[in-house]
Amino acid sequence: MNRDIALCYWYSSVLYAFLRGFILLVLVGGPVHASQDGIESLRQTSKAFASVAREVSPSVVFIQVESKVSGSSVSQFSSPFGDDFLRHFFGLPQLPDTPRYNPPKSERRIMGQGSGFVFSGKKGILSDKTYVMTNNHVVENADKISVKFLDGREFDAKVTGADAQSDVAVIEIKVSGVPALSLADSSTLEVGEWVVAIGNPFGLSHTLTVGVVSAKGRTSVGISDYEDFIQTDAAINPGNSGGPLVNMEGEFVGMKTAIFSRIGGYMVICFAKPSNLVKTIADQLIDKGEVTRGYLGIVIQPLTSDLAKSFDVDVGQGILVAEVSKDSPAEKAGLHAGDVIVGYRGKPVNDVGAFRNQVSLTAPGSKEEVAIVRKGDRKTLHVTIGKLTKDKLMAMGPEQSTSEIGLTVQTVTKDLAEQFNVKPGEGVIVTAVDPGSVAALAGIRPGTVILQVNRKPVKNAEAFRQAIKNTEDKRVLLLISVDGAQRFIVLTW
């Protein structure tokens, strides 16, 4: 993270030095034609951004939500976005105790805000309907939703469908004639391309920021269950969530979701969900009100350099099958623990998160090819994709990241249980520890088995992630096992 922030500062310094030198060249009487060409180039770039803003802004909306909650009022000093949100996404320290007014517990109403954009519209005999895309966390548990357009028109909205696992939601309003954003193929987006973000940061309607695509295919970030993020340096702040990220043609390439920063403000790492993923989810929400995901029934893990040598494959080639669920589509197709999956549907596989997304977006019932390497031999298996249900997700979840304490854990499989002297379904295995994190400072290392969170057993990686997420006082008691020896430790963040 520090390296990314340092690069941001370096990039800004280089850009500043270049512009300063260019301006000095013009002022001291450099070649006239060179100065004019440079100024004209900057002018055209400026006009291009202005053109994108004019084209896209009418499709972007400011979303306000109202929810009922029980309990006493929050502190008069609390952030409207929630202190938990600010600490998680901005890395802000715990605020000192401040005076609080605590009336008797009663029902109260809280307000929230975010961004969205017109995705599509349908005309009916009785009424017209317009669909607006946003993040699930913007409208989740909302009792009242309203959207406001650039021209001042405001409408009540209702949720068409929402998917917490991908953090995508579609809401609908009764209005016609609103332009929908054009859709671009996010797979063609390249690192270094200019992108424009439009939204409502801190309630400041239709704010435009500009940046480049910093990276693609970011998975295992720990923001949502299904991840394939576009990373950008276009400034995103609270209130931007759900707004569009567009290319220089004004086409939708991503939906802004989250930011990470140790200092808050502009110098941050920003993430957006790619349009291809979002569109697939949104289409299902509009058509069926829910998302149906494909299911294989395997536990998978990344191939480290040591594992790659052990399984006779090249580093960066494929992902490892740690366990195959009984009577699952994978077992019926002939997949075994220890197989290395190197291809799916004719495309290479080398990332756990990307593979999980590909399977989840495959229609249940379809027959697909899975290429594997088994004991040095390459084979092609044919599998009939099953339907993922909630109980299957909890039982067979892959690695889960908990950014609060800096851990990545994996469900204890049969093979892992034998290796670490525990029972299958008993605890989780730590597979990665972020340097300098709370967990690292407490001495937790990869290979540590976590058996309990706050004196309650954890049976899989997803249950562990939820237990950490639901910890209210930012203090957690863990029962861990190292080399068969158990002990309790306390983590505070």
Cα–Cα distance measured from residue 476 to residue 110, given in angstroms and rounded to the nearest whole number? 28
Q: What was the pLDDT predicted at 28?
A: 46
The number of C-alpha atoms within 13 Å of 359 and in the hemisphere containing its C-beta is 28
User: Does residue 231 contact residue 218 with C-beta atoms inside 8 Å?
Assistant: yes
Q: Does the predicted TM-score (pTM) go above 0.75?
A: no
Which residue reads 């809280």 in tokens?
A: 110
Q: What was the pLDDT predicted at 75?
A: 35
Q: What was the pLDDT predicted at 77?
A: 31
Q: What was the pLDDT predicted at 333?
A: 95
Q: What was the pLDDT predicted at 124?
A: 60
User: Does residue 270 contact residue 231 with C-beta atoms inside 8 Å?
Assistant: yes
Q: What was the pLDDT predicted at 73?
A: 40
User: Which portions of the chain are predicted below pLDDT 70?
Assistant: 1-34, 69-107, 121-127, 220-225, 260-268, 390-403, 414-415, 418-419
Instruction: Give a three-class secondary structure readout of 402-440.
Output: ECCCCEEEEECCHHHHHHHCCCCCCCEEEEEECCCCHHH
Q: What was the pLDDT predicted at 217?
A: 84
Q: What was the pLDDT predicted at 98?
A: 43
Angle (nearest 5°) at CA 411 between 406 and 413: 145
Residues noted as catalytic = 137, 167, 241
Q: Which two tokens stand for residue 55?
A: 């084209």
User: Does residue 221 contact residue 401 with C-beta atoms inside 8 Å?
Assistant: yes
